[in-house]
Amino acid sequence: MKKIIIANWKMGLTFKETQFLLEKISTFEAYRHFLIVCPDFLNLAQATQILKDTKIKTGGQNCSFHHHGAYTGEISALDIKAAGAEYVIIGHSERRRIFKEDNSMINQKIKIALEAKLKPILCLGESLLERKTGRTRPVLSSQLKNALKGIKIRKASDLLLAYEPVWAIGSGQPMESEEAERMHKYIAERAFALTGKRLAVIYGGSVKPDNAHDFIKQKNIAGLLVGGASLQAKSLKRLLNI
């Protein structure tokens, strides 16, 4: 079954490396899954240009929680859309943890992204401490509820959810795929209760070509959000054909 593979390049490539990788993936021949590439902002408009004759879509890695105005260093959702992107990652744990984004900012970003006709990829995930103290489900449920407060989702395809256990990101220690399946089912059910829509939930956290199949074979896992393993054309190509 066709799944969604999202390449989150974070700040992991130089300007030149990004251009090189984009040129390479624009030549990818037929592959099994659906690919969304999220380069840094400096490369976003050009990425869309380079990939315009392919089926590959692009996304921003973040957006401002303001619409427009005197906000030095911010990037608006409208400009991300104008650069040709269809998606935007919101609430990644690196943004929550390092850049101190809280639930109300994330909620505001989702609203603004939807208004700009971008499809948010809303990230959820528990920390190691939350996991160890048995709080995973309440944490996910509260992240979801707060992020979607006051928001009406018109179509299921307007919003993607990404479950990324914080402890699994970049650690080389992914969640066991059977446990991930149970968590995805839980998140999908909570999301249905809140939105009335069957939203796709994708998994992220130390996904590599060698373990990707364990995840995508699961019924409730709609795809993968990949960091490190999406930075090379060879492993990205393998992920797309798993």
* Closest distance of CB 169 from ligand 13P, Å: 4
Query: Looking at beta carbons only, is 78 or 214 nearer to ligand 13P?
Result: 214
For residue 70, the minimal CB distance to ligand 13P (Å) is 30
Residue 205 parent element (H or E): none
Tell me, by CB under 6 A, how many residues bind ligand 13P. 14
Q: What's the closest the beta carbon of residue 57 comes to ligand 13P, in angstroms?
A: 16
> Is 101 part of the annotated catalytic residue set?
no
- Taking residues 161 to 200 in sequence order and writing x for each that binds ligand 13P by CB under 6 A, - otherwise, the string is ---x----xx------------------------------
| Burial track 114-150 (b if 16+ CB lie within 10 A, e otherwise) | bebebbbbbbbbbbeebbeeeebeebbbebbeebbee
> Is 37 an interacting residue with respect to ligand 13P (CB under 6 A)?
no
Determine if residue 91 is left, alpha or beta; phi over 0 gives left, psi from -120 to 50 gives alpha, anything else beta. Answer: left
164 catalytic residue (yes or no): yes
Tokens of residue 40, six digits: 């840094």
Task: Compute and round to an integer the Cα radius of gyration of the chain.
Answer: 17
- Least distance from C-beta 90 to ligand 13P, angstroms? 12
Q: Which 198-217 residues touch ligand 13P, going by CB under 6 A?
A: 204-207
Contact 77, 39 (CB under 8 A): no
Closest CB to ligand 13P among 209 and 228? 228
**C-alpha dihedral (200, 79, 62, 142), degrees to nearest 10:** -60
Catalytic residue chosen out of the listed positions 126, 164, 181, 184 = 164
Minimum distance from CB of 221 to ligand 13P (Å)? 14
Residues 105-144 contacting ligand 13P, CB under 6 A: none
What residue has token string 């104008």? Answer: 82
Please pick, from the candidates 5, 8, 9, 144, the single residue that binds ligand 13P as defined by CB under 6 A. Answer: 8
By CB neighbour count within 10 A (0-12 exposed, 13-18 middle, 19+ buried), where does 238 fall? middle
Scanning 11-132, the segments in alpha helix (DSSP H) are 15-25, 41-50, 77-82, 93-98, 103-115, 128-132
Active site residues: 92, 164
Rule CB under 6 A: which residues touch ligand 13P?
Answer: 8, 92, 164, 169-170, 204-207, 225-229
